[in-house]
Amino acid sequence: MEFVGKCVFEGIAIGRIAVFDKGDNQVKRVRITDTAAEVKRFEDAKEAAKAQLAALYEKALAEVGEENAAIMEIHQMMLDDLDYVETITGMIESDEVNAEFAVHATGESFAEIFASMDDDYMKARSADVRDISSRVIAILSGKNAGGIDSDEPVILVADDLAPSETVQLDKSKILGFVTRHGSSNSHTAILARTMNIPALIGIDYPADCNGKMAIVDGAKGTFIIDPPMSVIDEYHRKFEEQEEQKKLLLELKDKEDVTIDGRSIHLYANVGGVGDVPAVLDGGATGIGLFRSEFLYLESSTYPSEEQQFEAYKAVAEMMGDKKVVIRTLDIGADKQVDYFDLAKEENPAMGYRAIRICLTRPDVFKTQLRALYRASAYGNISIMFPMIISESEVIRIKEICEEVKSELSSEGKEFKECEIGIMIETPAAVMLAEELGRHVDFFSVGTNDLTQYTLAIDRQNAALDNIYDSHHPALLKMLQMIVDGGHKSGCWVGICGELGADTTLTEEFLRMGFDELSVSPSMILKVRKTIRSIDLSK
């Protein structure tokens, strides 16, 4: 069976299908007679959950440092909490109910108790107790808590994936993504490209495909289920050719990003977390042009602390050494929803309460992040970038808050460096004010994904509009030239961190416009470098 969809990231994947299980939120109450056996089921599941958390702790320790890994240890301890365990076992024995229901009911009861407390730390435990309960229930139900029920790498199939779900997946277990819904311009699609994983959207796959052999052909946009051996053999040959091409590109790893006629440009990488940094270094990027800090929030069950953020920012700064690391402040809202922010439902969230608008109205959250960023600046070459800017007054207020944070850190005797300050240009308002805004900052970075949707009045999440979402639209290209001209006139360097930066059909045009920097997915670094080195601007 062959299905045709839209390509999000090219490449070939061959393997078995795993249908992503978001889990059944409804836990049914079942009467049981052998309470001793049911208590034993719970105890075995609890120990299995602790083993999972121990493994996750080691993984997080290696990828994001001890401070961020500590939550896994806290969850292990919570699973052994005497009140929690005795309440569950007591409910099983006295009410003769199944372990799943006892764990769910106890978890909800404890979560509500924590949530009602005045102490912020104890309130945060509400989400933790729900998390550990969900993990135990998943084990009792025979489901994998991470959504992938397989010990080997798989082609992950889902109706759709939220950014928070995508970012928590074990990348080592995923050969490719296939979704029924979604847009090629969504943040989940961007993550697939960052992860260098072949991905398709718009595939109306059959419900009974779990466990079947399949092929993802990103170039053709095809998904083949139960292919004959002759087709599998043919794609194995194509896969080997693909890997050979990657090896040839690796010869460009340490080459300069300079055109035939000698024009240099900075080629940086976009990343979603500390775990992506090795791919940046492997690809030979000369810096990080976009570190999406919001994924620290998406991965957390509560507001990440200053120390948690500091450890993450410090880790990436140290790993990159002297190379520039541009960290974007919190950019949630629209399709990146975080439950504990309690954001109200909006009719048009893409144009609503998001990004810098949240930060400027929640100074406690904003200052916590800025403190962590400035403290981490002492360990590397960090620049700070602010998203969704529409006015000079916003930039002036941001800089005032930065000064307040630096003053606080100085009075506390904490080390920090002066950081370059930049803004994202992703609204038509910012384009029109480029020269004025540039007087307040050190650099611009163009978010072409949002700038395209706001310029064309097209929701980038609406798959039905993909065919008219035109990132090559003449109006957008004119705006890009205006941004470069305005930025340079006011003394800023100007880059692109949106997906358009990796479009090699426009690389020469970007160079002729005068862009100083392009920041792309790590998987695209070498392809863009090859294109840059083939261009002669003197012609």
Alpha-carbon gap, residue 217 to 225, rounded angstroms: 12
Q: Helix, strand or coil for residue 107?
A: helix
359 catalytic? Reply is no
Look up tokens 């055109």; give the residue.
259
Give the tokens for residue 249.
Answer: 């590109």
CA 67, CA 407: separation in Å to the nearest integer?
Answer: 25
How many whole angstroms separate alpha carbon 147 and alpha carbon 307? 29
What is residue 202's three-state secondary structure?
A: coil
Tokens of 367: 């200052």
**Residue 334 backbone zone (phi > 0: left; psi -120 to 50: alpha; other: beta):** left
Is 419 among the residues known to form the active site? no
Which helix (H) or strand (E) covers residue 268, if one does?
strand 266-271
Six token digits for residue 354: 């998001």
Given a contact cutoff of 8 angstroms between Cβ atoms, the answer to whether 23 and 96 are in contact is no
Enumerate the β-bridge partners of residue 269: 288, 520
Which residues, in sequence order, are CB contacts of 155 under 8 Å at separation 6+?
13, 15, 16, 17, 18, 174, 175, 176, 177, 178, 214, 216
Cβ–Cβ under 8 Å, residues 326 and 385: yes
For the sheet containing 154-158, what is the strand order? 2-4, 222-225, 213-217, 12-19, 154-158, 174-179, 199-201, 6-9
426, β-bridge pairs: none
Integer CA distances (angstroms), 375 to 324, 334, 416, in order = 16, 29, 5
Closest among 194, 195, 198 to 216, alpha carbons compared: 198
Phi, psi of 324 (to 5 degrees): -65, 140
- Least Cα distance to 9 among 436, 531, 419, 499 occurs for 499
Pairing of strands 12-19, 213-217: antiparallel
Of residues 7, 75, 104, 187, which has the active-site annotation? Answer: 187
Nearest Cα to Cα of residue 306 among 373, 401, 243, 260? 373
Q: Dihedral, CA atoms, 286, 292, 297, 303, nearest 10 degrees?
A: 80
What positions carry a catalytic annotation? Answer: 187, 497
